[in-house]
Structure 1
Amino acid sequence: MHLEGSCHCRAVTFSVESAHPVPYMRCYCSVCRKTGGGGGYAINLGATHNSLSLQGKENIRVYQAMIEDPQTGKTSKSPAERSFCGLCGTALWVWDSRWPELLHPFASAIDSDLPAAPSHNHIMLEFKASWVPLERAENDACFDAYPDESLADWHERMGLAAQVDN
């Protein structure tokens, strides 16, 4: 599915091709909550990195969060690069060198109509802020950390992968 996106001030516009465009996974980790800003969680989609077409690259800034290992207490820089507009602050996408072929745009930055999710996965609930309500529907799944199922696997299991227009 072809997706068009932009920041709030439109200094950055972009497009990507996505085989996994259903916004179903809500991440409640502190990084998503604090950098994404909406509802106490962020929603990432799956896209192909080499399909990224970008205007306004000079306005993009990158943030790499410092992550604390809960077992050792040691802090290290996350390899995940969170791109955002340096003018208005809109979170745009996440790219991670561990999976260089993928790009994860934030659903909030997408201007194209997105398909509705039949259910949601609520992830990283171990880090959910106390003020954030968990708006869980009957068929939703909840995880303290990451689920074993990938974006691609979820789309396939739900029968949505074949329905996406490429």
Structure 2
Amino acid sequence: MAKHTGGCRCGAIRFEADADPIYASYCHCEDCKRASGAPMAAFVGFHAADVTFDGEDAATYGKAPVSRSFCATCGAPLAYADARLPERIFFMLGAMDAPENYPPTVHAYAPEALPFLHMDDGLPRSDTMTVPRPDGDKT
């Protein structure tokens, strides 16, 4: 089983997953764009039970049920968690040590993509989220 590692920009927070990821996607929603400061975000998801952290505790912010984490020292965005999916954690692809190993497989919130951002990658495009929530909520 491969180790999947990552951390913040300054190294104050490190994390490791002991099992392979369960999900990888692009997200074009307004919240992800603002949280990442980028025209879209890319994530890789793991079962939370397979992830361990080392170093400082991450700072968090967000509007329930979503909580986003970042390094309080360097400000680097790290991950998001959704209270409706307590068994999962989704890391920013750029926080991974080898982001090239986690190619996204889908685009979430495709209608919110910026009009100048063109990715002809042939991946499926969803109008809303791509990981179903237990309550059926689409946001």
Q: Which residue of 2 aligns with 1:5?
A: 6
Offset at residue 125 of structure 1 (A): 2.2
Give me the identity figure in percent: 22
Partner of 1:91 in structure 2? 77
Q: TM-score, normalised by structure 2?
A: 0.79
**1:15 counterpart letter in structure 2:** E
Query: Alignment partner for residue 123 of structure 1, among 108, 115, 134?
Result: 108
Asked whether the 8 Å contact 2:107–2:123 carries over to 1, the reply is yes
Match of 2:61 in 1: 63
Distance 1:144 1:121 in 2: 11
Amino acid at match of 2:123: D
Q: How does 1:129-144 map to 2 (within 5 A)?
A: 129-130=114-115, 132-137=116-121, 139-144=122-127
Structure 1: 5+ residue runs without aligned partners? 66-77, 151-166
Amino acid at match of 2:118: L
Partner of 1:27: 27
Structure 2 residue ranges without an equivalent (≥5)? 134-139
State the AA in 1 paired with 2:112.
F
User: Are the equivalent residues in 2 in contact too, given 1:81–1:94 (CA < 8 A)?
Assistant: yes
Mark the structure with the bigger radius of gyration: 1
The runs of at least 4 aligned residues of structure 1 exceeding 3 Å deviation read 147-150
The alignment covers a number of residue pairs equal to: 132
| Secondary structure in structure 2 of the residue aligned to 1:134 | coil
Asked if the contact 2:93/2:99 (under 8 Å) is kept, the reply is no
Whole-Å separation in 1 of the counterparts to 2:77 and 2:26: 15
**TM alignment of 1:104-123, pairs within 5 A:** 104-112=90-98, 114-115=100-101, 117=103, 120-123=105-108
* CA RMSD, Structure 1 to Structure 2 (Å): 2.5
Matches of 2:80 and 2:18, distance apart in 1: 15
